[in-house]
Structures are given as structure tokens and as C-alpha cells.
Amino acid sequence: MDIVVTYDIPEDKRRTKIHKILKSYGQWMQFSVFECNLTDTQYAKLRSRLSKLIKPQEDSIRFYFLCACCKNKVERIGGEQPRDESIFFV
């Protein structure tokens, strides 16, 4: 499944941990945005790992799931191209 993950973590130490975890699951696109192509098992593990680190009253992590139709509508202007061409291309 194709997922865009965004996060807003005010504490530097916690934000760095979140970033490192996400980096092992997907491609870092912008400051707090990752693009991931995950299996159901990988998504469950990622979500579990992240939920153990955050403080829900302070932090926010969002998962945007893209269907095949939506994925084909992603448009890019500039920036780094995806490492895995099967996710998010124009």
C-alpha cells in the first residue's frame, strides 16, 4: 500500500527518533513528510513503533493512504525523484 506519512513533533529528541524510524520504512521527501510503500505487516509494525514513542497530547502523526487511482494523480515539480519508481511518479 502507498502511504504518505506526515508528523508534527515539537520535541527535538522525539522528532529525531520518529524520523529515523520512518527513514527505514520509506523515502524522506520534505521536513516532516515521508512516502512509503508498505505491506500490511510493515504498516502494522511501523504504526506500533511510532505509537510507543509519541505523546498523543503533544504530537501528531498522520497516515494518508493512496489508492492506485490516486497514486497516478500525484504530480511533482522539482525535488528528488522517488528511489522506488513504483511509488509516486509523474
pLDDT at 26: 94
| Fold of domain 2-71 | Alpha-Beta Plaits (3.30.70)
pTM of the shown model:
0.81
pLDDT at 72: 74
Per-residue model confidence as pLDDT tens digits over 49-81: 999 999 999 999 999 999 888 777 777 777 666
pLDDT-based confidence at residue 6 (cuts at 50, 70, 90) = very high
How many residues appear in the chain? 90
Q: In the chain, what are the domain boundaries? A: 2-71
